[in-house]
Structure 1
Amino acid sequence: MQFSRLGSSQIDVSRICLGSMTWGLQNNQHDADEQINYALSQGVNFIDTAEMYAVPPSPETYGKTETIIGNWLARHKEKREKVVIATKIAGPGLSWVRNGGPITPDAIYKAIDDSLERLNTDYIDLYQLHWPNRQSPHFAQHKPNGHNFVDVDTQAEIASMEAIIEALTKSIKAGKIRHWGLSDDTTWGINTYLRLAEQHNLVKPVSIQNEFSLLHAKDWPYLIENCWHEDIAYLPWSPLAAGMLTGKYLNGARPEGSRWTLVQRQGLFRDTEQAGLATAEYVTLAKKLNITPAQLALAWCDQVKGVTSTIIGATNMSQLKENIAAFNMPLSEEALNDVADIFSRYPAPF
């Protein structure tokens, strides 16, 4: 297993991060235990979760994934120091999470305490803001005029961010969290937090996780270059485009029990004609390379300069083994050129 430094922290994380959002809905405790144990046996030391999980989110599944991880930790206390646990506070918009309110200092203190209890741990290694209080250009809102940033009260937003970073710094000093990071944010978000940290002698973020894949690479190169020079770990989520890059949803297929058979909060916005055409070509290339489409997508993601650790997920052990194996299959220069040729024709399919 290869490892990378988690931004400006002193933590080394595996190049693979085990995602957990299916645990508590598509997967039960036994499934999760099996996935965690196997991932650790392969050298993975990084697990990502969120208070909002399982996904798709609902009042019934809220907090279940953290509880499942906490149950595992309770039975493997000797392994706690060897595992990097990352979780997230939900942003505004979910009525069953603090009445849908924004991230505030009080929300942070309560959410951290609740996550610590569910996770059966005294500290969280990486605590992330799941999405910002302002609207952000994610979940297919990245196209021109897809979201409205010009009407944001900039000074009010900065004041809110300063209060957030003060609360996170206080929580770090209290020993409840070790580091903090962002998710579904932008270069402006990153740089504003960095500026506030420097101005007020507060703790700066060490990471950001955004959606990133062969079908959705909007962060390259601008945001990722920003991360590299500012020592911010870049953590891609959904490197398989919610399963689309496996090819299993081509031609309208909906395998029983798959994620796309569930109600999606944002709809199936990845399911576009262009995304289907691109996926079909990547599937053909994978066959030529004698690897699976998922392995092609994951190996490519791992080889993108500036990527720290790729967040993978699986609903069964065969998928997990296939995905982890991809990180021992570096693509040749010829294969990368073939990928680049397809990418050049489908640079932003959704």
Structure 2
Amino acid sequence: MTSTAEGSARRVTINDVAHVARVSRQTVTRAMNDMPGISVATKDRVLGAARELGYHPSRFGRGLVRHDHHTLGLVISNLINPYYPELASAVVNHAAERGWSVVLLDSSGADQQRTMINQMGDQVDALIGYLALDRRELDVSMPGLPVVRIDAGDARHAPCGVRYDHGPGITELVDHLIGRGVRRPVMIDSSPAGQFSTRARDFVKIMDDRGIDVPVLHTGGDQLEHGIRTTEEVIATMPRTDAIMCFNDITAFGALKALRQLGRDVPGDVAVVGMDGLAAGTYVTPQLTSLALDMTEVAALAVDIALGRLNGSIEPGSRAARPKVRHRLVIRESA
């Protein structure tokens, strides 16, 4: 037992031990139950904190523990978008190879994600994916829980995460488009007006380096309907456009549909390019040219970073904690 500031007694919880030992609740469980997956030093620190606080886990809680079991929480934002099922499939497959199970969390917006993550916190050993919550909030609500962001930002925000490197692939794409005679390209970006995704910035800059100006239209979304609506606007206001670069493959599918309805030939009149390299790009006509990601590589890196954080072999902010995956140009019929 320990005392609060008001002087009343309360039972010491697993959260107290996690806070003192600077680890996750799941790591406390592993240490208290002599489970594999954590370093000796981490285990000793947890047991020391438990002794200091007088923590004794319930027999019921201990009976729920499986010594051979790890659970990974995968956070995504829209299962309707084929990108996320492809990512989820790759994560599940690689996690299974490592002996992990996966809990899938599909949420929209920070508020819903906050509620769902707090509810599942005791069920997972690590979180990976697209998290809307910032690092400080996660550190408070789930101290010590390994978090691995996919398409990670700067190291302060994402000390552990898989980074995407668009530059080389976009450079190859730009040279390919210019080589086939493109001179009036347009970028359809998912960002709100006045903001630019890194994809849009890279495409505009590399085109500008080659003397070609690229108008950017902001859709405020990255779904099929955004691609349709914005492509209709492109053709209405810039009818001589000869290439459309889309934020992702889904908006590119919308561009293909709009151009077909408007009677524009692809790629004869307008080339269309997406980004992500979804398998669905081979199901449309014409097949979609795209800057593709190796989802298997992304999943393997993310899962292995989470495992490395748990066993202490990977330090936050290190090169091993922030690997890069490059997009590669896959040329198909649309360009």
Q: TM-score, normalised by structure 2?
A: 0.25
Q: TM-score, normalised by structure 1?
A: 0.24
